[in-house]
Amino acid sequence: MDYFETFSPVARIDTIRTVLALAAQKRWKVYQFDVKSAFLNGELEEEEKMISKFEMTDLGILHYFLVNTPMNANEKFLQDDGVVRTDPKEFRSLVGGLIYITHSRPDIMFPVSLLSRFMQNPSKNHFGATKRVIRYIHGTLKFGIRYHHVNDFKLVSYTDSDWASCVDDRKSTSGFALTLGSGMGTFCMYSLTS
């Protein structure tokens, strides 16, 4: 089998953000285009309909319940929280869609990473928290990453840890973010550590 005929390299989002930051700094023109051959000449169809897919179609009600943060600051989730279980397939689909959105909305990276820990056996509490993230996104559609020329173009990193906040196993969640010039190069990669 000739793997080189069907191989299609895909750029990492970190690389794309770094190139955009560099282009903004150097004042280069940037053009976007899609290459259908990257998907083996298949039909490209966008799907971003999460609100209707997960029965949040009443935008009046959704607008009424908009939130300013993607997650409650002091909320702790348990694997076995004693709450009625929900459909894991639907929950995985919702979290998977949110993971995709983190490419353009890195401000939701922490809650999405946290909620992805419960994909095997989610409860209604976990499902409600994911819907809160959708309500946050709906109320902040104009948010994004802005790249522009700056005088002090340098790489800066930030890191943080919450020190044993996981209620199930007392592990810590740590994360980091890198900025390059005006925009983020890598956003908030979270992981459990012991």
Domain residue ranges of the chain, discontinuous segments joined by + = 47-144
Q: Does 190 have pLDDT greater than 90?
A: no
Is the pLDDT at 38 greater than 90, yes or no? no
pLDDT digits (tens, 9 = 90+) for 130-157: 989 988 998 888 887 888 898 888 988 8
pLDDT tens digits for range 66-100: 889 999 888 888 888 888 999 999 999 999 989 88
Q: Are 100 and 50 in contact (CB under 8 A)?
A: no
Q: Tokens 């946050």: give the residue.
A: 136
**Residue 187, token pair as written in the block:** 């956003």
Helices 88-101/124-139 angle, 10° precision: 30
